[in-house]
Every structure is written in C-alpha cells, then in structure tokens.
Amino acid sequence: LPAGLSQWFPALEVLDVSGTGLTEMGTELLSLPCLHTLLAKNNRLGGPGSLPKGLGQAPLARSLRVLNLSGNRFSEVPPALLQLRGLRSLSLGGNRLHGIPPDIQELHSLEFLYLGGNFITAIPPELAKLPSLRYLVLCDNKIQSIPPQLAQLHSLRSLSLHNNLLTYLPREILNLVHLDELSLRGNPLVVRFVRDLTYNPPSLQELAGRTIKTRNVPYAPSDLPESLVRYLSLASNCPNPKCGGVYFDSCVRQIKFVDFCGKYRLPLMHYLCSPECSSPFSSASQSSTSQSESDSEDEASVAAHRMQKVLLG
C-alpha cells in the first residue's frame, strides 16, 4: 500500500486493492480509523508479513466490517484476522486453506463467512458458536461430514455445501428452522446413498447402564463412583418411539431418508439402540415405498417454509 495513505485520506471508509498483485499490506493500513470495507481479492497475499503486525490492536480492528481476501495464497486463516471482532463479512474463498481454526468462534459479529474453493477437510464444532451467522459458504472443499453442533446456528439462512465429499447429513440439521437454502449438489450423498449397518455389541457396563435407565432403577451419587454417575448421564434415547430403550457407546448407525418440499429425499444419520430395534425410521436398504410409509409423522410433515430451496441438482 502506498505510504502516506492515511494522511491523504484520513476519513477513508472503503478501500479496494483487488487484482493489483499485492504481496503484503503495510502498516499504513493501521492508520485508517474509519475504514469499514477492505477488498483485496485476487492478489498474491499469503506469505509471511502479508498482513501488518498489530492489526488486532489497531483502530481498524474496531471499524472494519467487511474483509475480502478471496483468490490469494493463504494456507491458514491468519490469526490476526480472528482479532477483528467487528467483522460482519469475511471472505477467504479460493485460497489454500486446509482447515478452519477453532478460534473462529471469537468473531461474534460475523454474519457472512465464505470459505469456498479451498482444501478444508473438517468443520470444527466451534463454528457453531457464531450467534449472528446467516450465510455460510463451504462449497468446493473436501469436507466429509457435518458436525451436529452446526444445528446451534439458529440465525443461519443459507448453507452452501456443494462439491464436497458428504455421504450423509446429521439429523440435527432439521433444527435449523430458519434455513431456507441448502446446497448439496456434487456430493456422494446425491449420487449414491450410504448403507452402514455396523454394530459393536454392548459391553457389560453398557448393558448394566441400559438396565438401570430403562427400568428406572433409583440411585444417588453416593451409591456409585463419580465416573459411573457421569457415564449414566450420557445415555441417549433410542429414536424409535415404540422402543423406549437407551444406548451409550454401542448403537446401530443408519441412514434415514427424509422428504423436503415433497420433492427431494435427504439422507440423514440416525442411531438405533440395537439391530433388533423395530424402528419406524427406514434404513437405506429399504425400498422407496416402505420409506415413505414408515416416515414418522413429525418428519413427514416438515413444511415447505422450513426448507424453501434444496439444491441437489
């Protein structure tokens, strides 16, 4: 950036230096107290010293609302960016990112996050701690699964996951009641549905824990070691309403197909307490007819306003 920038334009609010071949942004940037939008797309940023030191402590850290660094060479999200607590929009698409740092949760004001076109393989659960996030773009990466914690993003309106390696979605995604756009095209779940019926027999400890929970055997913390009390608190209810059982570590992992908008069927992960559990939730091995007949009432009645656009094609 040119020297004297802050002297020439002390009240500068928007700065666009996209496509200028930049390899670093100097300290002049730190002296722009009114800057709220910085666009630096399609440059050569990403090496050591690309961003000025002290960025997180400068007035800019409080004023900046929009930052676009897409089309550069960052291999990781610069830690300095995670100190820009006023950011509402952050774009790092088309870089060389291999992951998302857990500290992304520090950007509490973030509403728009674009990380498409990278090499990201996993989504940290901490991403779900962004209370204002409305638009999340993770397309064109190498993501294999979605953490169920993402269901905590209650403000989310649009979730772009196309062209990844997803084979299923967690059932918790149904809790995203304000989501009106879900993009899934180009994932294995669209072209081939997974059948996974693996099951590890429960341990003696789990069998005992299941008995205590299903038969409502009374106990107090003084009756058992702290580790067992904690273990018993981790019981998960079997989703089959006719079963009433629980499970701990041993469960049957299956795919449940759920209709959205009466047009698409999304494969969602669900768990049964045992292979013998006669669940109304259909598995991937059942015919489409039996799937439709066995859909539980609560999921079969997912209204169109819950998912206005399911983009599979």
Together in a domain, 122 and 171 = yes
Together in a domain, 16 and 90 = yes
Which domain, by its residues, includes 207?
200-265
Together in a domain, 189 and 210 = no
Written as six digits, the tokens of 70 are 């897409």
Nearest residue to 170 (alpha-carbon basis) of 156, 152, 197, 154: 152
**Pairing verdict, β 158-160 and 181-183:** parallel
Q: Which residues, in sequence order, are CB contacts of 227 under 8 Å at separation 6+?
A: none
pLDDT at 164: 95
**CATH number for 57:** 3.80.10.10
Q: In this model, does residue 66 exceed pLDDT 70?
A: yes
Residue pair 173/183 in contact (Cβ under 8 Å)? The answer is no
> Could you tell me if residue 286 is inside a domain?
no
What is the average per-residue pLDDT within 82-90? 93
Residue pair 49/24 in contact (Cβ under 8 Å)? The answer is yes
pLDDT at 306: 45
pLDDT at 128: 95
Together in a domain, 156 and 227 = no
Nearest residue to 259 (alpha-carbon basis) of 286, 210, 293: 293
DSSP 208: H
Locus of tokens 């341990």: 203
> Could you tell me if residue 281 is inside a domain?
no
Dihedral, CA of residue 71, residue 76, residue 77 and residue 78, to nearest 10: -100
Residue that finishes a domain, picked among 151, 174, 195: 195
Together in a domain, 213 and 151 = no
pLDDT digits (tens, 9 = 90+) for 100-153: 999 999 999 999 999 999 999 999 999 999 999 999 999 999 999 999 999 999
Residue pair 98/115 in contact (Cβ under 8 Å)? The answer is no
pTM for this one?
0.69
Together in a domain, 159 and 244 = no
Nearest residue to 88 (alpha-carbon basis) of 106, 113, 71, 69: 113
Together in a domain, 252 and 134 = no
The number of domains in the chain is: 2
Together in a domain, 81 and 230 = no
Residue pair 103/79 in contact (Cβ under 8 Å)? The answer is yes
Q: In this structure, which long-range contacts are made by residues 155-158, counting pairs with CB atoms below 8 Å and at least 24 apart in sequence?
A: 155/111, 155/131, 157/181, 158/134, 158/182, 158/183
Q: How far apart are CA 32 and CA 15, in angstroms?
A: 10
Together in a domain, 188 and 210 = no
Together in a domain, 152 and 41 = yes
Q: Which residues, in sequence order, are CB contacts of 229 under 8 Å at separation 6+?
A: 219, 221
Together in a domain, 88 and 129 = yes
Instruction: Give me the DSSP letters along 41-103.
Output: -SS---STTSS-TTGGGSTHHHH--EEE--SS--SS--GGGGG-TT-SEEE-TTS------GG
For the chain, where are the alpha helices, taking DSSP H only? 5-8, 60-63, 188-191, 204-214, 226-232, 288-294, 297-300
What does pLDDT average to over the chain? 81
Q: How far apart are CA 176 and CA 54, in angstroms?
A: 38
pLDDT at 289: 30
pLDDT digits (tens, 9 = 90+) for 261-313: 554 566 677 778 887 775 444 333 333 333 333 333 343 344 344 444 555 54
pLDDT at 192: 54
Residue that finishes a domain, picked among 179, 195, 211: 195
pLDDT digits (tens, 9 = 90+) for 177-202: 888 888 888 888 765 554 444 567 88
Q: Which residues, in sequence order, are CB contacts of 77 under 8 Å at separation 6+?
A: 92, 97, 100, 101, 104
> How much of the chain exceeds pLDDT 90, in percent?
46
pLDDT at 191: 54
Together in a domain, 189 and 206 = no
